[in-house]
Structure 1
């Protein structure tokens, strides 16, 4: 049974406690590689009371972000084949911990005619992380700006912002490769990107809970999956999506 889940219904759900956000992996294959999201917290090597790590403003900012770690080791090089078609080269070769066929399943070079900037390739990494909520909550995916990289990325990542209470979808990591003369190096266990969650009241904190993949949730996701391949403005479908949304998405995992 489905209900018409409207913004007005969501507003009635707003409370004074924590905003509860559920997370789960859409695919259980090799799930041990995908670490649970965790709250951002800078490391301090001093216990001084005036340390920046104890600053209330710093603590407030960091409490708003959750970290997704990179699940794999990648060392990639951009090139073009003899016909000029963009291609990825696994610079680690036989030493790569990720098999070539699996690498092709995980990584996708976006079609060149869809690049936002001419001659700046877009690379996408598929991930199984998905977030849901039972009140109005928007997720913002952004660069791990607080993480120092020994090998700076040769480009920029770009995320997005969408409502997880009506649009549950697995995340992906998208990268624009500006300096193609440099390799792209990602290390397993290092921060890949941050997630920020916003409700109506910015003073309320967020609590992440591992959610159960109920049949109702999976059916709902199946109904909305893939629509990006058929329409240009998927956000225009939110009104229709609300009509088939289950009454409750977040169920605690067993």
Structure 2
């Protein structure tokens, strides 16, 4: 179909999968044709179907598959929020079949990140620890204020506090680690002794990140709170549209997608 790209989503019955489908069914992005959905082999809903609304009145049934090879010829870009092992398998297959992939999975080892980066020589990859616009604005703010702090002589204390639901596995969160890496890469290491990272796992918290920069007599606090998962799903869909339109090989993040 003209001006459309074919999208597949893995983990369609997970938290992010359901939110992605919700947004797509609102017909907000007319350039997206949802053409494949995946779940794990352990899922009880394999071969069940999901309701996908195309345009306003056309309803499609998409059968949930447990093997990406069953839909390999049906999509151009895959959105994946699963786990490191599954994601690496999908990246390998996307690399072999020249498919773009948007990765929202976190918890990769450094070796796994190197593998993903290597495969980005052949395909387009958007990989981010957080797809919300607000968090990526905070990433940009941190980079900008580092130029000011780097000129100061006072030592500052740096604390990162992150809160997530009690079922989140990786700790600290991928977003907290991204914040830490930005500070390590952009802030002069002479102005702080260490970065303290504090993690809270409780209830059904969607995601909260706080950066506290403390010096004698004053503090700066940057806080982002997510009130639902739709903001992350929205960002992932924007990333899928962006990488499909640019058709560029390489590895990118959400700041690239937003142009900030």
What is the TM-score with the length of structure 1 in the denominator?
0.24
Greater per-residue helix proportion: 2
